[in-house]
Amino acid sequence: MTGRQLELRELSQSLTYGGLLEGLPTRRRNQKYLENVVARHQTPQQPPVFLITPAETAIELEPGETYPFGDPATLPRITCVGLFRSTPVAAADAVLNRSELRVVWLQNEFALPIEASIMEDLSKLDWDALAANVEL
């Protein structure tokens, strides 16, 4: 991460499976969910979005049982979307005096705190490559 200090400016959280009314989550459904979360926040007026890829856990079925809609698997319970701010990516323009990046991650409990494994992932981000300068 190049030793940057990040400031969490916004944090929104929701239940990962809050809209799942029946059935089991599947790997395909999980992938589509993650794509939709990123797409929802990826607009020209917003800072770039980065997804910290969550761990998926297989749902064990009874021996001989199959699930007709795909390979059942779960993601962590809580989806978090944080807007982080830091110093500019480059000193190209004095007007652009901050850089921002929206980060999506999943964890098992509502934040705060942010889970230790996510904090480690955040510390490894290539901020200069991922974030964009913004005018404040």
Spatial neighbors of 14 by CB under 8 A, at least 6 apart, are 78, 79
Whether the CB-CB separation of 78 and 111 falls below 8 Å is answered with yes
Predicted TM-score (pTM) of the model is 0.90
3-state DSSP helix/strand/coil % of the chain, to nearest 5: 20, 30, 50
Tokens for 81? 């979307």
pLDDT tens digits for range 31-81: 999 999 999 999 888 899 999 999 999 999 999 898 999 999 999 999 999
With a cut of 50, say whether residue 1 has pLDDT above it: no
